[in-house]
Amino acid sequence: MIDDLLEPLIAFRRDIHQHPELGFCEHRTAGRIAEQLRTLGLEVHEGVGRTGIVAVLRNGTSGRSIGLRADMDALPIHEQTNLPYASRTDGTFHGCGHDGHVAMLLGAAQHLVRSRNFDGTVHFFFQPAEEGQGGAREMVKEGLFDRFPCERVFGLHNWPDLPAGTIATRPGPIMGAADKFEIALEGRGGHAAIPQDTPDAILASAALVSQFNSIVARRIPAAKSAVLSVTQIHGGHTHNVIPAVVKIVGTVRTFDPVVQDVIEDAIRKITAGVALAHDLTAAVDYDRYYPATINDAEAAQEALTAAATVGHALLAPEPAFTSEDFAFMLQACKGAYIWLGQGRPEGSVPLHNPHYDFNDDVLGLGVRLHVALVEQHLARAS
Ligand SMILES: [Zn+2]
Ligand SMILES: [Zn+2]
């Protein structure tokens, strides 16, 4: 019943792939989606969370409701796939498979409009700016769940680490909280041959990096988990000057707000201590930009039950340390984030790699999973 939808859906997916747009700039993408949804006769709301779209499909008489979410944005990466439908926008690329998410959710809408094997309301959320800019947060802030109430919300992500055909999720944490820290160590700058007169921000930055790498090992209980990575150091411009300023940038990933507090506090204290020891001043900017993605236990079980009707359902043994702004939707509504395996037998390219491409072989499975979630949660009274 779904197979006849696939050929045009794959063509649609590849068209979106060829015309990628960055967060909050998804004008063409959103326009094409809205046009398709209107053709289906759905009630379509544009401009929800800037470039986001909500479509509403009602059937029957029950007051029950469900939300399904797909993200629409691409990444600032130069594509290197050499595919015939490769990006036509230099430096912008669907390297996270959101083109596939859009196509799968549209396919679910197409199928549900004609099958109508449910009783209640389905909300289709096409969200902007997942890649770091908080498009989901924007939609929630604009009253998404007040305007379009949902008993459950589900978000699907293509997952190259799992084989095609496998669908995985878990109760509780599934994706990490993402924080960014930026530190500026400031001295005076001076001659490299007279270090006794110049506080050395380069030496202090080395101490900082080494101390930071002890935080998780020494301050976080072994049974908890966290990642801290220093990813940038900027300082100096020539061999005979001790620079006045060195900047250190990095990220912290956690699942537990208590662990997050301990790490932020340690970063601030170590920075203050190292700066004092080296006669420097320090400024710390610590930004908690995405919270952890925490699945509701019942919703995760619902997802696994629905998954088992269409593919191989797997209870994921552990969460991933990458982050996801679907977290903001799960803070506002019970639901679950689900991984749709898309690994290829010849080996998989990781997400955000310039050679990545959504695997069209799982497009039908993604449509079926969306449909199964709806038909299960909004089952007609027998
Ligand atoms: Zn991504
Ligand atoms: Zn993604």
- 95 alpha carbon, closest ligand: 1
For 89-102, how does the pLDDT look when each residue is reduced to its tens digit (9 = 90+)?
Answer: 999 999 999 999 99
Kindly state the tokens that stand for 18: 């060829």
DSSP string, 62-93: ---EEEEEEE---BS-------TT--SSTT-B
Q: CA 1, CA 274: separation in Å to the nearest integer?
A: 65
Q: How much is the pLDDT for 308?
A: 98
Q: What letter represents residue 193's amino acid?
A: A
Instruction: Output the CA 131–ligand 1 centroid distance in Å.
Output: 6
Domain boundaries, the chain: 3-175+292-377, 177-290
Q: What's the DSSP call for residue 132?
A: S
> Within 13 Å and on the Cβ side, how many CA atoms surround 123?
26
Instruction: Output the CA 223–ligand 2 centroid distance in Å.
Output: 28
Which residues face 45 on adjacent strands?
54
Residues 6+ apart with CB under 8 A from 178: 251, 252, 253, 288, 289, 290, 323
- 337 alpha carbon, closest ligand: 2
For the chain, the C-alpha Rg in angstroms (whole number) is: 24
SS3 state of residue 184: strand
Kindly state the tokens that stand for 45: 């709301």
- 127 alpha carbon, closest ligand: 2
Is residue 183 within 8 A of residue 208, CB to CB? The reply is yes
Instruction: Output the CA 324–ligand 2 centroid distance in Å.
Output: 7
CATH among 3.90.1150.10, 3.30.70.360, 3.40.50.1860, 3.30.70.260 for 177-290: 3.30.70.360
Instruction: Output the CA 156–ligand 2 centroid distance in Å.
Output: 9
Q: How much is the pLDDT for 345?
A: 86
Superfamily of domain 3-175+292-377: Zn peptidases (3.40.630.10)
b (16+ CB within 10 A) / e for 352-377: ebeebbbbbebbbbbbbbbbbbbbeb
Instruction: Output the CA 79–ligand 2 centroid distance in Å.
Output: 16
pLDDT tens-place values along the chain, 382 residues long: 799 999 999 999 999 999 999 999 999 999 999 999 999 999 999 999 999 999 999 999 999 999 999 999 999 999 999 999 999 999 999 999 999 999 999 999 999 999 999 999 999 999 999 999 999 999 999 999 999 999 999 999 999 999 999 999 999 999 999 999 999 999 999 999 999 999 999 999 999 999 999 999 999 999 999 999 999 999 999 999 999 999 999 999 999 999 999 999 999 999 999 999 999 999 999 999 999 999 999 999 999 999 999 999 999 999 999 999 999 999 999 999 999 999 988 889 999 999 999 999 999 999 999 999 999 999 998 7
Kindly state the tokens that stand for 161: 């680490």
Q: What's the DSSP call for residue 195?
A: G
Q: What's the DSSP call for residue 362?
A: G
Q: CA 371, CA 306: separation in Å to the nearest integer?
A: 9
Q: How much is the pLDDT for 381?
A: 83
